[in-house]
Every structure is written in structure tokens, then in C-alpha cells.
Amino acid sequence: MPSISQKGLAMPQSPIRKLVPFAEEAKKKGVNVLHLNIGQPDIKTPRIALDAVKNNDIEVLAYSRTEGSETYREKIAAYYAKNQIIVEAKDIIVTTGGSEALSFAMGSIADAGDEIIIPEPFYANYNGFSTALGIKVVPVVSNLEDNFALPPIENLETLITSKTKAILICNPGNPTGYLYSNEEIQKLASLVQKHDIFLIADEVYREFAYDGIEHYSILQEEGLNANAIVIDSVSKRYSMCGARIGCLVSKNEEVIKTALKFAQARLSPPTYGQIASEAALETPKSYFEDVIEEYVARRNLLIEELEKIEGVKVARPKGAFYCIAELPIEDADDFAQWLLEDFRVNDETIMVAPATGFYATPGLGKNQIRLAYVLEKESLKRAVNILKEALKSYIG
């Protein structure tokens, strides 16, 4: 039989999606599955975006420009300007989701065998893209006890070698909800400048910053133009995950020229997705005010209810819509599958994401899960009650 590549065998499964067959089987049996496993918001997509697709008069659905339409990129630049980020359309490449932007960024700056330092736990697909490109992830551990704050800069600096090409952060963080402070960004900026490496920031959750704290982009940091690469997306911002539109942003001309070659190899980003995304930029500020108010209420409810469960520890997120919970169990993967196969409360169960897939260090996260608070509050409360009853039964 023909053999599969070693790269293919090494590709990690998604901790978010690998349990889908068990969830589907449960649904076939009439079980209502409450999804806490995936960052698919239930917030309605802005009507202006949906109408732009519905009412367009396209007669030939042609290729778009490789780097994305000129008008859309100009409007993205205008959006950034409103957020005190000064870039031009030429600094932007529109991509098929933030995932493709991340892949282009990694491919543009690192060769097989090179290293990228990432504070863990981190978005699981960072492992996938690095494996596909032959890049080594060098993790630096952040801890639940510290609310997953950035480890001391000295810890990161000791990991920098001649093969280090970048430090990658997610801000606010998936899966932790951690929001980096201005001071932390400035320390990272100084570090990458000192060692002449890149700082990649995945900023797709920029709008979701809570408790009166404002998001600070690496593109706002003076003197970092040559080192800064931002990954962005409309998926979470406008509840448009299915549009599959993101972008790569950098003022480093060589990065943009190189990423454009990767973009040319896949021809162009989706036309309808760009139409919807361009229209979404006209969404009024009140939309985000309402959305953030709702997520803060959900976060507060989730944390409050989790803290009532004996043996559960949880970090308090300050952004995005995820949190990491540590459970009084040994194997969260087994527990998550058991929830779907064997446990019910009034014909309902929950689907969670085991946290091992969000770490690069073997053995870490075994007793942790990621929870996405993307359900309305009543469902969220039921979900936490199911978790509480499940732990009693599982441990017993």
C-alpha cells in the first residue's frame, strides 16, 4: 500500500473538531448537545453584510485580485485608522480567513527547521500550520494561577537561538481570553528588535476587550514597522465565520511581497466573502457595544458558576470569549468523549474542547478544558450545571 508522508502523520488533530463524530452520534439519538467547544458566535451577523451579498448584481463570479479588492483594502485601512492603527491598502493582503494569513506569515519568514516562540496554551492550529511548514514551535508556559499572563521576558529571551524567526502571540488570547497590556507589548517589541526577529500578533478578537481595558495593537508600537506582522479576520468581529475572509497586515515591504507570492499560488480570496466583509465595515459602533455587553454578562455568569463547582479552577478572561478551566480529573480527552457518549441531563449534554491540543509541551493541559461562552445565558447556565453533575458522576 502507498505510504502517507511523515508530515501528514505528524499533523495534529483539532481538539475542537475531533469529537464531532461523537456529537453527531448523540444528536442522532435525540440528545441536545450544547456546544462550548467551538468559537462559533450565536450573535447575528450584521444585516448590512448579508444584504450586500443578497442584493449584488454580479453576472460573472470572476476571480478577485490576489491581494484582495482595492476598495476593500482601502476600507480596512480606514477601519484600522479608527483604531489608532495607521496602515495603507498596500500593507494589506486579504486572505481566506485568518488561518491562511497565519500560514502565509509563517511561510514568508521561516524555513523548515526554523523556530517560532509561542506562549502556551495557544490556538491549536498554530501547531498544525507549523507542522505543515516544518517549523518548530518553541513553547513558553503561562499558568492558570497567573491568569495566563505573559511569562517574564527573561524566560522568552533564553529560548531565542540562531534558528528563532519570530515570537507569536494571540491578543486577546484563544484559548485563554488573556489580554496583553501595553507594557507587555512594549517589552515584546524591545525583545524582537534586540534580536532582529519578527513579532506576529493574531488580533482577530481585537474588539472583544473587557473591564474598561483597551486593546493595544503591535502596529501602534513606534519603531516596530520592520518586525510587526498582524493576523486579522472578520469571523468573530462580525460573527461571519463562514465568510472565510481575513488579512495579513505589515509595513515590512519584503514580508508583503513574499506573502503575495503565496497568495498568488492560491489565486484569490472569495468574492462574495469580500463583498460581505466590505459592507460589514459600515456596521455601527452600537453593534459592538451591545455585543460586548452580552459577552461580559456571559463571562461573569460562566466564571461565577464554575467557581461554585468543587475542585474546578478557572482563569478570568479579559477578552475574546473563551476560558480555560482546570477540572478534578486526570484525562480531559476521555472525559469530553464520555460526556457525548454516556452522560445526559434531561436529554442534554455538553461538548467541550480538551486543552491538550492547545499546548506544545507533552503532558500539559491533561486536566483542562477550553470553554467558549458563545451560548445565550440560560443555555450557558444549563451547560455549567451539566458539567457539575457530570463531574460528580465521572469521578464517582
Using pLDDT thresholds of 50, 70 and 90, give the confidence band for residue 38: confident
Take residue 235 and report the three cell numbers written for it. 469571523
Mean pLDDT, rounded, for 308-318: 96
Using pLDDT thresholds of 50, 70 and 90, give the confidence band for residue 18: confident
Query: 111-120, 146-155, 315-324, 376-385: lowest mean pLDDT where?
Result: 146-155
CB under 8 A, 24+ apart: contacts of 2-6 = none
pLDDT of 17 over the 80 cut: no
* Residue type (1 letter), 357: G
Using pLDDT thresholds of 50, 70 and 90, give the confidence band for residue 7: confident
Calculate the dihedral angle through the C-alpha atoms of 272, 72, 77, 166, rounding to the nearest 10 degrees.
50
* Residue type (1 letter), 161: T
What tens digit of pLDDT does each residue of 237-254 get?
Answer: 999 999 999 999 999 999
Q: How many CB atoms sit inside 10 A of residue 295's CB?
A: 21
The SS3 of residue 62 is coil
pLDDT of 342 over the 90 cut: yes
Using pLDDT thresholds of 50, 70 and 90, give the confidence band for residue 14: confident
CB 147 within 8 A of CB 141: no
Q: Where are the domains of the chain?
A: 6-44+286-395, 47-280
- Report the distance separating Cα 299 and Cα 343, nearest Å: 25
Instruction: Quote the percentage of the chain above a pLDDT of 90.
Output: 93
CB under 8 A, 24+ apart: contacts of 138-142 = 138/164, 138/360, 139/359, 139/360, 139/361, 141/361, 141/364, 142/176, 142/178
pTM over 0.85, yes/no: yes
Classified by CATH at the fold level, domain 47-280 comes out as: Aspartate Aminotransferase; domain 2 (3.40.640)
pLDDT of 63 over the 90 cut: yes
pLDDT of 16 over the 80 cut: no
Using pLDDT thresholds of 50, 70 and 90, give the confidence band for residue 396: confident
| Backbone dihedral angles phi then psi of residue 162, each to the nearest 5 degrees | -65, -15
Using pLDDT thresholds of 50, 70 and 90, give the confidence band for residue 42: confident
Classified by CATH at the fold level, domain 6-44+286-395 comes out as: Aspartate Aminotransferase, domain 1 (3.90.1150)
Residue carrying C-alpha cell 476571480: 63
Tell me which residue of 129, 80, 93 sits closest to 249, measured CA to CA.
93
pLDDT attached to residue 153: 86
CB 28 within 8 A of CB 340: no
67: burial class by Cβ within 10 Å (0-12, 13-18, 19+)?
A: buried
DSSP conformation letters of 87-121: --GGGEEEESHHHHHHHHHHHHH--TT-EEEEEES
Q: What is the mean pLDDT of the chain?
A: 95
- Report the distance separating Cα 313 and Cα 284, nearest Å: 37
What tens digit of pLDDT does each residue of 174-197 get?
Answer: 999 999 999 999 999 999 999 999
Mean pLDDT, rounded, for 39-64: 93
The SS3 of residue 200 is strand
- Report the distance separating Cα 248 and Cα 233, nearest Å: 9
Q: How many CB atoms sit inside 10 A of residue 74's CB?
A: 15
- Report the distance separating Cα 380 and Cα 372, nearest Å: 10
- Report the distance separating Cα 282 and Cα 46, nearest Å: 9
pLDDT of 155 over the 90 cut: no
Q: What angle do CA 49, 50, 55 make, to 5 degrees?
A: 105
CB 48 within 8 A of CB 283: yes
The SS3 of residue 310 is coil
Instruction: Quote the percentage of the chain above a pLDDT of 70.
Output: 100
Ordered alpha helix ranges (H), the chain: 6-10, 20-28, 47-54, 70-82, 97-109, 125-133, 153-157, 182-195, 253-265, 271-280, 285-306, 332-342, 377-395
